[in-house]
Structure 1
Amino acid sequence: MKALLALEDGTLFPGRSFTGPAEAVGEVVFNTSMSGYQEVLTDPSYCGQMVTMTYPLMGNYGVNDEDVESDRIQVRAFLVREYQEYPSNWRSKGSLAEYLTAAGIPGLEGIDTRALTRHLRVSGAMRGALSTRDLDPHSLVEKARQAPDMLGLDLVREVTCRRPMLWTEGNPSPIEGGLEGFRWPERPGAWRVVAMDFGVKYNILRSLAQRGCTILMVPADTPGALIDRLDPDGLFLSNGPGDPAAVTYGIASIRDQLGKRPIFGICLGHQLIGLALGGTSFKLKFGHRGGNQPVQDLTTGKVEITSQNHGFCVDMGSLAEKDVEVTHVNLNDGTLEGLVHKRIPLFSVQYHPEASPGPHDAAYLFDRFIALMKRHRNPKPQP
């Protein structure tokens, strides 16, 4: 079935749908990973975006029930060079086309993904519209221009949990009766962690749980006063989509929590920490998305191969007078990738240590959070 992708600058990319009739709009971005398309599709940080993969073959190993990072597909569309119709893998439970179609998400193949990626690198990520119904270039370009601009867009409200959840046996579970009268499960030696859900990836929660954490997920607009009442050993700030400057409620809660307990932020959580500390953020030209981003740890000199997915960045210069030490930088463009506060128990990174492209280059960050909670843990009263 013929399809057309139109960018807001008038550039056109013809292709064909492998998921049936469809129409969608969103910011068009590219990801340089060679595999992991199911993780990409279900990553909440991609909410509002149409993703093209630079690796040409997609769908070859199908989909399964384990490789998901949230409870649903998050992308607005999936753009590939060549779709593999017949998957071959012992873990496969179905095809990529079936997976996308069941969720109502368009899948386009035959797109010149190399040309599209080069165009986005030169001109920057931009809004796009795709359709199998409307193949008129002028009409489709106008639809792209009418799509919401990512700058200033709060997408966290679309992906955060609607009510508090406990991470139990590898899945989020609703809390009976909510937080009224909530008591932490009795697990001797466990670390009590409140995770502010700005669009958290499941593998982050798995990584914390593997290190003995009891994790309470709370909505992104949870106020600091409620976190105080929950009295966790540590506060985790998750990844998520959109412009961090638009998440004013999250910034306010984080600012309230500064210095009260150890805080660890990843991706959007890192950006929100920067803003809560008085810094500023800016939109990257085409973002960092893929599993091959080189980051240097300035404290050791070591280089980590990292997985990343973000389109905004904290301005390093804006934190110069904020008692903040820069710990990590991106070796491709020199942007800020990690920070630690000099006086309070707080650190954050822009990249995803749980995604393990290195494969274990950045796993120490979760251990650092555990060590920070151990150092600052207050004895809990016995029930």
Structure 2
Amino acid sequence: MKAILALEDGRTFEGEAFGHFGTTTGEACFNTSMTGYQEIITDPSYRGQIVTMTYPQIGNYGVNPEDAESHCPHVRGLVIGELSPVASNWRSRQSLEDYFAEHHIIGIEGIDTRALTKHLRSAGAMRSCLSTELSAEEAIQAAKDSAPMEGSDFVKEVSIEGVQKWEGESRLWTIPNPSTGQEGNYIELPEVKYNIVAYDFGIKRNILRMLRQAGFEVTLVNSRTPAEEVLAMKPDGVFLSNGPGDPAALDYIHAEVKKLLGKTPMFGICLGHQILTHAFGGTTYKLKFGHRGGNQPVKDLRTGKIAITAQNHGFATDGDSLSDNVEITHINLNDDTIEGFRHKEFPAFSVQYHPEAAPGPNDATYFFSEFAELIEAFR
């Protein structure tokens, strides 16, 4: 079936639909990752977005439950150059097309993704409509009528209800290492050393896995949970997760996080970093086309080391809005945007990118150890 992607500025792209049929709207953006399409599709941070994959062929290795970053897809739609006709991998349980059909997600292939990406880079991420039933003019109007990303609160749609202890897997999946005598794909996890509370703004499962692998037991709480209730749990620390939407629209979260400052060690990732920005008294702004992919170079100003990082965000911290009590620790080498900071008085730090990757490089996994060290120092 024919499909059309229409942007709010009037540009349109025609292709073939796959998965589900109908009409959807969302912010058009692009991701430069070469692999990991399933993790991207199921990342709650993509709520409200129609994602373009710049890698030309998607779906090659199918879909499997172990690689999902949440219980369902969160993208509004997916734009690709070519859908692989074969899903070939020993772990594959389902084709991408069948997965989209099951979850009612619209995909479109046969798009010139290079042209679309170049357009979004020059014009900026914008509202869009993906449809199998509207004319070009109707789809453009639907894009214009859809809600902008600025001011949106998608966190309320993806956060859990109530309080939940993350049970997770009891063993760690890994590649067998015969030199150590390991034969299977699983090894036992380390003992629990710390009990922490994690605010679920749309947390990825691999963050939870990495925290558990670093010795943390995690209790998840809803994004609306008051600081008093969190402190009553007497956690060793508090984690602020990734999530979707505009961080400036989350005043109710900023207020509670601000109450936690100085009372418990805190570590934030992505949206958690932006929320800490506001809790510190700073502000955030929307990037022209965001950082989405697994090849963003970040410099650690404390050591001079450079890491290649996985990122997924459309907003950033305004460095000029931060007080002298905040030390900028990491910057993006492509555009000098702030990628990490720490508070000089309170035990709190964060990074704008994803040290847990999934997908992407593992250069930055050391932050989970730094969180443990911060907790030990606070004790």
TM-score (norm 2): 0.93
Q: Which amino acid aligns with 1:9?
A: D
Name 2:271's counterpart in structure 1: 268
Tell me the percent identity: 54
2:74 aligns with: 74
State the Cα deviation string for residues 149-204 of structure 1 (Å, max 9, x = none): 00011110011011211111339xxxxxxxxxxxxxxx985201100000000100
Instruction: Could you list the structure 1 runs, at least 4 aligned residues long, displaced by more than 6 angstroms after superposition.
Output: none
Find the residue that maps to 2:115 and give its secondary structure.
Answer: helix
Confirm or deny: 8 A CA contact 2:60 2:88 kept in the other structure.
yes
Q: Residue 336 of structure 2 corresponds to which residue in structure 1? A: 334
Deviation at 1:233, TM superposition (A): 0.3
- TM-score scaled to structure 1, two decimals? 0.92
The equivalent residue for 1:155 is: 154
Q: Which one of the candidate residues 341, 345, 365 is aligned to 2:367?
A: 365
Q: How does 1:174-189 map to 2 (within 5 A)?
A: none
Counterpart amino acid of residue 335 in structure 1: T
Q: 1:169 to 1:139 in 2, by over 3 A?
A: closer
Indicate the SS of the match to 1:355: coil
Is the CA contact (8 Å cut-off) linking 2:39 and 2:359 kept in structure 1?
Answer: no
AA partner of residue 95 (structure 2): S
**Could you say what secondary structure the match of 1:63 adopts?**
coil
**1:1-383 equivalent positions in 2, closer than 5 A:** 1-134=1-134, 136-170=135-169, 190-319=193-322, 321-355=323-357, 359-377=361-379
The change in CA–CA distance for 1:112 and 1:272 in structure 2 (over 3 A counts) is: same
What are structure 2's unaligned runs of at least 5 residues? Answer: 171-189
Q: Give the superposition deviation at 1:205.
A: 0.6
What is the distance in 2 between the residues matched to 1:221 and 1:357? 29
- Please give the alpha-carbon distance, in whole angstroms, between the structure 2 residues aligned to 1:50 and 1:261: 37
Check 1:189–1:30 CA distance in 2 against 1; reply closer, same or farther (3 A cut): closer
Count matched residues: 360
* RMSD after superposition: 1.3
CA drift of 1:322 comes to 4.0
- For 2:6 and 2:374, how far apart are their aligned partners in 1? 49
- CA positional deviation for 1:67: 0.5
Query: What corresponds to 1:176 in structure 2?
Result: none
2:161 alignment partner AA: R
Which residue identity is paired with 2:207?
Answer: I
| Runs (5+) with no aligned partner, structure 1 | 172-186, 378-383
Q: 2:309, 2:362 within 8 Å by CA — same for their partners in 1? A: no
Question: Once the two structures are superposed, what CA deviation does each residue of 1:355-375 show, in whole Å capped at 9, x if it has no partner?
Answer: 167733111100000111112
2:26–2:129 contact (8 Å) kept in structure 1 = yes
| Structure 2 partner of 1:178 | none
Counterparts of 1:371 and 1:20, CA distance in 2: 47
Q: Given residue 152 of structure 1, which amino acid in structure 2 is its aligned partner? A: G
Cα distance in 1, alignment partners of residues 257 and 85 from structure 2:
46
Q: Is the 8 A contact 2:197 2:230 kept in 1?
A: yes
